[in-house]
Structure 1
Amino acid sequence: MSSTKYTLDRMEDGYAVFLKYPEEEEQIIILQSAMNKPVVVGDRVQIEEIDGIYHIDILREETEQKKADIQNLMDRLRHKHQ
């Protein structure tokens, strides 16, 4: 597997479910114990599989920008309904 960007969608039953960025239609499911570091839901990451270990690189800047975009959208929606 080459290095590809994903967004962590959810954690369930010891597995991390990532959606491929940017379309988020394709998913990859990885056993948490096979990852080299912990991640949290919403993190944008780059994943590279080497010898059965998934090397996760958290893209902090992209993650923060995505969270800010979502917060701005939520704020606009809240003000629209007032």
Structure 2
Amino acid sequence: MSSTKYTLDRIEDGYAIFLKYPDEVEQVILSLAAIDKQIQAGDRVLIEEIGDTYHIEVLNEETAQKKAEIHSLMERLRRKNNHLDG
């Protein structure tokens, strides 16, 4: 039994593609039918492998923090772009 943090990269063709945190190089692909949680791209999750099944826990606090960091970065880039255009 092991549990590992992942970030949900995308949902594609009925599958959730997770990237292992923090490197985000190694990936795990799970069928959406096997996931009993509401998930969306960008969610940080803890995936625990129990025998042949997976238990997924959405790490809401880490997800919110990461989304806030990305939002802040996007705002800084927009301000920089506006400054360069003007």
- What residue identity is the alignment partner of 2:67? K
TM-score (ref. length: structure 2): 0.88
Identity %: 63
Q: Which residue of 1 aligns with 2:13?
A: 13
| Native 8 Å contact 1:36 1:54 kept in 2 | no
Q: Which residue of 1 aligns with 2:70?
A: 70
Between Structure 1 and Structure 2, the one with more helix by share is 2
What RMSD in Å do the two structures reach over aligned CA positions? 1.2
TM-score (ref. length: structure 1): 0.92
Task: Give the greater-gyration-radius structure (CA).
Answer: 2
| Native 8 Å contact 1:45 1:59 kept in 2 | yes
Q: 1:43: how far off? A: 0.3
**Structure 1: 5+ residue stretches without partners:** none
**Structure 2: 5+ residue stretches without partners:** none
Q: How many residues align?
A: 82
Map 1:3-82 onto structure 2 (within 5 A): 3-82=3-82
| Native 8 Å contact 2:2 2:50 kept in 1 | no
